[in-house]
Structure 1
């Protein structure tokens, strides 16, 4: 991260005009992640491809604070994502402004990560060391933050003896339809030395039924080998996780339940069955040396009529403070005619899919 202290800069340039300067700083930061991957089956064929964001999506951002005195400060954050390989831009990144107090907590308004990201995802590998490809099938619980909450107001408390909590409300922004495509939730976290735990609940009403509300239309698994766009009358995600550090090894367990009801095809309005996913994950991260970390996980996901088994391994080697190289492999097996779809890949024509990839990542 590159930090600019505007107080000293402004003082040098504008000293003749002003005798005071508030303590303000702005940080330019980001990451670039690119590599190569082999996928065993995509629509019946092996695939060899250049990748962008196999662990972290590539992005750049600006964040800053201004000291308001009395332990309070104003803050902001603006990010923009992109593909290193294609140059395509992505807007599913946070943009917000707010206030932070050492005793009262943090209040932010804007386009933000939801409470699943803040309080649950850190106990999964997709929300931690593993990254993008380690997401649960279809990222059904949003642990990989496939979507952010627009029009949102979020509060995070200060820590009190290791306990903290938060809440979020994202507005529909539709006249006369206050509840259409709104989202809200609560969450809590507890940390005490090597032990950490979190729980979160998020609900959305009428997801995707308007273009100005909290979320865009849901991506849900359809029949055969497809993933379809759908509108959802109600979406509930409840999730809990915990971790424990044993020296250089951190063990974690995570559970989530995602329920989509009132599902309709976004193209023709036809009714579709309600869908519920339960995800059970165990994982371990070992800091084998100051430069080398190893991670692994197993996930079982159940959707009543179908289920998925997913296992993954990853090795990351630090070449410097900012640059590392990595290798990883993910295998997924689906049952009952459901598609095997490792996150960010197109579906397999069979019940199995294997991804093996390597890449380089640079942070600034």
Structure 2
């Protein structure tokens, strides 16, 4: 039977326990409701050989709501949890693209969490890309092939995140297949580290998958990869290795960053048709900068070159963001992508273009609560 108590009753109980324990303190806990809404308008010049005008949701950040909380366990230890749910402001559709986890942590030893979580690419590499920072969703590398935009989270995962030791931090994650007799079928693991010293920051991460997308209950879902005749298909990958390194340096109000990643995919199967596809390794070279022009105005830009599988992509983007208040801002951004002949041009959040070029111009408003 569950016993419910009001605030006054809890205070009485705590005081009684304190007296009985001779000075032992009752655990302190907190729960926070938070989230973000991102919606706007966009023009895309080439989607299936037609111009597209649309209401957007999450061009920078995916809209979501969440609950997170802690409970003091004493001795510097605490229990933590986080529950988030993504959704489309435009349609109301829900998305399973945010974390759910519970765990334990201390300020000196770090945290251990279990659930549906971001991998080490997100934690230690993505912050040096513009898609993992102020640029957001539409600034992802082609097909988000390195998961810098965290298109996928690891299910069934156990994750460790260290404390900060003189500017150095590290972590790792293991995602179970959750399949009897198939321990390595759709399992994953990742590791990463970061070092920060004043204006200088650097990080590196590695992610490995076995049988990605082979099962519906494993660590990861299928990913998108480029196919023949300018197509994009959902790919089951029997062996995937992704690694990335990045660095940034702040000079006054300007931060310059560079990032390199490589995603190697072998044993590729078309999830729609079951046909075998060619293995492909994709390399991403990015340089980006963010300038805080005034306390309310931030300007950002990037250039990314991606190559692999006999094709290449050039992508450039600009963004201006203006704070109306501490919680609300408006933005304007433009992304242009040009693919080599026979390769699909597709800016993240859009369908592929007919031809080698795609341009997106978007404006929107974000509110955080």
Q: Report the TM range for the smaller structure's normalisation.
A: over 0.9
Query: SS at 2:60's partner residue?
Result: coil
Which of 10, 14, 29 aligns to 2:10? It is 14
Unaligned residue ranges in structure 2 (runs of 5+): 18-25
In structure 2, the residue matched to 1:45 is 50
Q: CA deviation at 1:219?
A: 1.8
Cα offset for 1:16?
Answer: 4.5
* Secondary structure of 1:348's aligned partner: coil
Compared CA separation, residues 271 and 30, structure 1 to 2 (3 A): same
| Structure 1: segments with no counterpart, 5+ residues | 1-8
Q: CA deviation at 1:279?
A: 0.2
Q: Distance in 2 between matches of 1:128 and 1:288?
A: 17
Query: Which residue number in structure 2 is paired with residue 231 of structure 1?
Result: 236
| 8 Å Cα contact 1:201-1:239 kept in structure 2 | yes
Superposition TM-score, scaled by structure 1 size: 0.96
1:359 aligns with 2:355: no
**Conserved 8 A contact 1:305-1:336:** no
Whole-angstrom CA distance in 2 between matches of 1:287 and 1:218: 35
What is the aligned counterpart of 1:71 among 52, 76, 80? 76
Partner of 1:98: 103
- 1:4 alignment counterpart: none
What is residue 246 of structure 1 aligned with on the other side?
251
Distance 1:303 1:286 in 2: 32
Provide the residue aligned with 2:210 in structure 1.
205
Alignment of 1:95-244 (within 5 A): 95-244=100-249
> Which residue number corresponds to residue 276 of structure 1?
281
Q: Which moved more, 1:302-311 or 1:266-275?
A: 266-275
- For 2:284 and 2:166, the matched residues in 1 are separated by 30
Q: By how many angstroms is 1:164 displaced?
A: 1.3
1:32 has 2:37 as partner: yes
How far apart, CA to CA, are the structure 1 residues paired with 2:273 and 2:306? 29
Q: What is the CA distance between 1:72 and its match in structure 2?
A: 1.2
CA distance in 1, matches of 2:272, 2:360: 32
* 159 and 17 in structure 1: CA distance in 2 versus 1, 3 angstrom threshold: closer
TM-score with structure 2 setting the length:
0.94
Q: CA deviation at 1:264?
A: 1.2
Q: How many residues align?
A: 356
CA distance in 2, matches of 1:303, 1:264: 18
Counterpart secondary structure, 2:123: helix
Give the CA deviation at 1:267: 3.3
* Aligned equivalents of 1:64, 1:296: Cα separation in 2: 35
What is the root-mean-square deviation in Å for CA atoms of aligned residues? 1.2
What per-residue deviation string (whole Å, max 9, x for no partner) do you get for residues 36-59 of structure 1?
000010000111110000100000
1:178-200 CA distance string (max 9 Å, x none): 00000012111100011110000
Using the TM superposition, give the Cα deviation of residue 13 of structure 1 relative to its aligned residue in structure 2, in angstroms: 4.5
Q: Which residue of 2 aligns with 1:313?
A: 318
Paired with 2:327 and 2:210, the residues of 1 have a C-alpha distance of 41
Note if contact 2:231-2:343 (Cα within 8 Å) is conserved in structure 1. Answer: no
1:5 matched residue in structure 2? none
C-alpha distance in structure 1 between counterparts of 2:73 and 2:110, whole Å: 14
1:75 is paired with a residue whose SS is strand
Does the 8 Å contact 2:232/2:344 carry over to 1?
no
For residue 22 of structure 2, what is the aligned residue in structure 1?
none
Specify the SS of the correspondent of 1:27: strand
Cα distance per residue 1:108-142 (max 9 Å; x no partner): 10000010000000000000000000000000000
Q: Distance in 2 between matches of 1:323 and 1:65?
A: 27
Deviations 1:227-265 (Å, cap 9, x if unpaired)?
Answer: 212211011100000011100000000000001100012
